[in-house]
């Protein structure tokens, strides 16, 4: 039914650039895309260009060279999303390019964004087809982005968040215990308690509280007034006496400081519980207590595999718009940034509210607005 719709000859073709990671989903992503998503995209009447990535980090480089396009489609998992948005927001002209709407076709092992953008589905083929059709229907939602900057490196951008701690470290090793079948998750967490116990991560945290959300800017620019109106305004401005400038007092930023000892720290966006009507912009910082028994650690580790950014009872929860995480010298280990591994180092994390627009299923958008009204 969708493919049979006629496109008027006067309508300009939309250009779509697809970034496909063939290695996602244990190498099955290319087949899944070509069988289930590509036919729908080609039937849509768009000019589709598919860019296949050959190695990790290539999408970031390709984005730097990309010319203008009407929409960007990411076909892969969390890692591909993170690479594409990092490449996009590192561009010198990111202010223009960040306005390009982004579509996400979930093909990876972990696809965190799909829970926000599309209805749950146990049928993978149906899920991919629904996501592709949602992109073509054109409904979008604004998502927050975290800018994570080390002292030397270029910033990395994330749509889900950053994790640092023992649950993340144990979760990475789960696949090593594949031969234990359904017990592999518990085994990974159980064996990690042998290393050292209690597992404590020391750090210093400075943060700023939430910021007030400005009103949404209108999408369409107002039409330009006629020439005589513009000339009259210019003359009036020229002849009127210049107003005296009132010096504005710059209010110092109110940084809070905190010393922490935790089993795991996570800094997450609000994209998973998207509220389109909230009046404040913030990210959630969850500092988990370091007084956990080995049994609790193993059980909670299994829950965290399902929901990595859950904040258990007894944790300290902070809402912030910006934070600086200082680690003691000689700190080893890794951060998980959108499920991708990065070396642990002192970082500044800044919230970029409503920075990117992602296509979503119209039903999900309606649900979000309905929940906000209630």
**Consecutive H or E run containing 238:** helix 227-239
pLDDT given for residue 244 in this prediction: 53
Q: Are residues 183 and 40 in the same domain?
A: no
Does residue 221 fall inside a structural domain? no
Task: Indicate if 198 and 99 belong to the same structural domain.
Answer: no
In angstroms, the CA 107 to CA 64 distance is 24
Sign of torsion over alpha carbons 287, 292, 294, 299: negative
Q: Is 292 left (phi over 0), alpha (psi -120 to 50) or beta?
A: beta
Angstrom distance (rounded) from CA 263 to CA 260: 10
Same domain, residue pair 184 and 78: no
123 and 199 fall within a common domain: no
Domain count, the chain: 2
Domain assignment of residue 247, yes or no: no
User: Has residue 370 been placed in a domain?
Assistant: no
Residue in the structure block whose two tokens are 């594949």: 178
Q: What is the pLDDT of residue 250?
A: 46
In a shared domain, residues 195 and 257: yes
**What is the CATH number for 60?**
3.40.50.10330
Say if 82 falls within a structural domain.
Answer: yes
Q: Are residues 307 and 195 in the same domain?
A: yes
* Domain identity same for 125 and 166: no
Strands 283-287 and 334-337: unpaired
Same domain, 188 and 71: no
Q: Is residue 229 one of the residues assigned to a domain?
A: no
Residue 133 lies in a domain: yes
Which residues of the chain have a pLDDT value below 50? 249-250
Last residue of a domain, one of 106, 138, 170: 138
CB 100 within 8 A of CB 69: yes
Contact 163, 300 (CB under 8 A): no
Mean pLDDT estimate for the chain? 84
Task: Indicate whether 33 and 112 sit together in one domain.
Answer: yes
For residues 179 and 256, membership in a common domain is answered with yes
Looking at residue 322, which CATH number applies to its domain? 2.60.200.40
Residue with tokens 């470290």: 169
Question: Do 188 and 104 share a structural domain?
Answer: no
Would 346 be classed as within a structural domain? yes
Give residue 271's domain range.
161-212+252-354
**CB of 231 within 8 A of CB of 239?**
no
Q: What is the pLDDT, as a whole number, of residue 243? A: 55
Looking at residue 368, its pLDDT comes to 77
Reported as a single tens digit per residue, the pLDDT across 324-350 is 999 988 788 889 898 888 888 999 999
The C-alpha torsion from 71 through 72 and 73 to 75, rounded to 10°, is 170
Nearest to 52 by CA among 87, 88, 16, 19: 19
At 36-83, the pLDDT tens digits run 999 998 888 888 988 888 888 788 788 877 888 899 999 988 888 999
- Rounded Cα–Cα distance for residues 108 and 121 (Å): 15
The answer to whether residue 78 sits within a structural domain is yes
| Rounded CA separation 323/309 (Å) | 17
| In a shared domain, residues 123 and 206 | no
């Amino acid at each position: 039914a969708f493919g049979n719709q006629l496109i008027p000859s006067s309508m300009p073709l939309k250009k779509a650039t697809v970034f496909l990671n063939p290695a996602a989903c244990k190498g099955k992503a290319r087949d899944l895309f070509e069988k289930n998503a590509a036919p729908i995209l080609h039937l849509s009447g768009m000019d589709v260009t598919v860019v296949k990535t050959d190695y990790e980090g290539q999408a970031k480089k390709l984005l730097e060279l990309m010319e203008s396009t009407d929409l960007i489609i990411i076909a892969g998992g969390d890692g591909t999303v993170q690479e594409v948005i990092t490449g996009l927001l590192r561009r010198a002209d990111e202010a223009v390019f960040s306005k390009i709407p982004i579509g996400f076709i979930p093909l990876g092992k972990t696809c965190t964004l799909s829970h926000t953008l599309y209805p749950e589905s146990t049928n993978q083929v149906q899920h991919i087809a629904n996501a592709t059709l949602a992109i073509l229907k054109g409904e979008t939602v604004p998502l927050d982005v975290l800018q994570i900057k080390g002292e030397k490196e270029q910033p990395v951008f994330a749509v889900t968040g950053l994790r640092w701690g023992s649950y993340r470290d144990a979760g990475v090793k789960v696949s090593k215990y594949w031969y234990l079948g359904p017990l592999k998750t518990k085994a990974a967490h159980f064996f990690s308690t042998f290393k050292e116990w209690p597992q404590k991560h020391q750090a210093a945290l400075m943060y700023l509280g939430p910021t007030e959300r400005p009103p949404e800017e209108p999408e369409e620019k107002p039409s330009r007034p006629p020439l005589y109106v513009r000339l009259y305004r210019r003359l009036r401005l020229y002849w009127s006496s210049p107003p005296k400038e009132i010096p504005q007092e710059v209010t110092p930023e109110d940084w809070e400081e905190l010393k922490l000892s935790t089993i795991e720290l996570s800094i997450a966006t609000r994209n998973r519980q998207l509220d389109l009507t909230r009046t404040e912009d913030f990210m959630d910082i969850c500092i988990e207590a370091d007084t956990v028994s080995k049994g609790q650690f193993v059980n909670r580790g299994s829950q965290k595999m399902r929901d990595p950014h859950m904040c258990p009872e007894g944790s300290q929860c902070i809402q912030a718009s910006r934070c600086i995480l200082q680690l003691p010298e000689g700190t080893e280990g890794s951060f998980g940034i959108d499920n991708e591994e990065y070396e642990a180092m002192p970082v500044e994390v800044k919230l970029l509210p409503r920075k990117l627009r992602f296509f979503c299923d119209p039903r999900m958008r309606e649900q979000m607005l309905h929940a906000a009204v209630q």
